[in-house]
Structure formats: structure tokens, C-alpha cells
């Protein structure tokens, strides 16, 4: 399944680890305002530096319910945002 066509997607190809964290945070903020509960981040495969940076950020982010590598595309992470963000 191509999640990049189903959900809002952030493409981080060519980014550095530090900028990927900032862009990920802004992407989550934007999607909270748009009330999107599932989002996708394309980080690529490469040496895994950007993926590791993004996953470290997601693990600490209290707005993130869960995240996982796409089974069919290991260069993509699917993120579920917490539903209580929209209850107010």
C-alpha cells in the first residue's frame, strides 16, 4: 500500500538529522491543526541517519500515539497522532 498517496506526507530526502527533527515537529503541528490523525514521513533508507533522528524525536513526542516503519517501504514511517488532541 502506498501510504504517501493516502496520508499527508513529509519528504525528508536530502535533509540533515538536525533539520529533520525540526521539520518533523513542524509537520506534526500543521497536521494537528488540520486534524489529520495519520501522517507519513519519507526519510529514505541510506545509512539510516535521518530515520534514526526522526524516530528518536517521535519516541519523545507526547503528541505521537505510535509510529512504525512501512512494511512495504522501509524508507517511510507511518505515524498515528493521539486522538485526544482533537477532543477540545
pLDDT digits (tens, 9 = 90+) for 26-79: 999 999 999 999 999 999 998 999 999 999 999 999 999 999 999 889 999 999
Asked if the structure places residue 87 within a domain, the reply is no
Asked if the structure places residue 62 within a domain, the reply is yes
Asked if the structure places residue 14 within a domain, the reply is yes
Domain count, the chain: 1
pTM of the model: 0.90
In angstroms, rounded to a whole number, what is the distance separating the alpha carbons of residues 35 and 17? 27
Measured on CA atoms in the order 10, 51, 63, 85, is the torsion positive or negative?
Answer: positive
Amino acid at each position: 500500500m502506498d501510504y504517501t498517496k493516502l496520508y499527508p506526507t513529509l519528504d525528508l530526502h536530502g535533509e540533515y538529522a538536525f533539520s529533520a527533527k525540526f521539520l518533523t515537529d513542524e509537520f506534526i503541528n500543521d497536521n494537528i491543526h488540520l486534524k489529520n490523525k495519520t501522517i507519513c514521513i519519507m526519510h529514505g533508507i541510506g545509512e539510516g541517519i535521518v530515520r534514526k533522528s526522526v524516530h528518536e524525536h517521535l519516541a519523545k513526542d507526547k503528541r505521537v500515539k505510535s509510529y512504525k516503519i512501512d512494511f512495504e517501504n522501509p524508507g517511510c514511517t507511518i505515524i498515528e497522532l493521539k486522538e485526544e488532541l482533537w477532543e477540545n
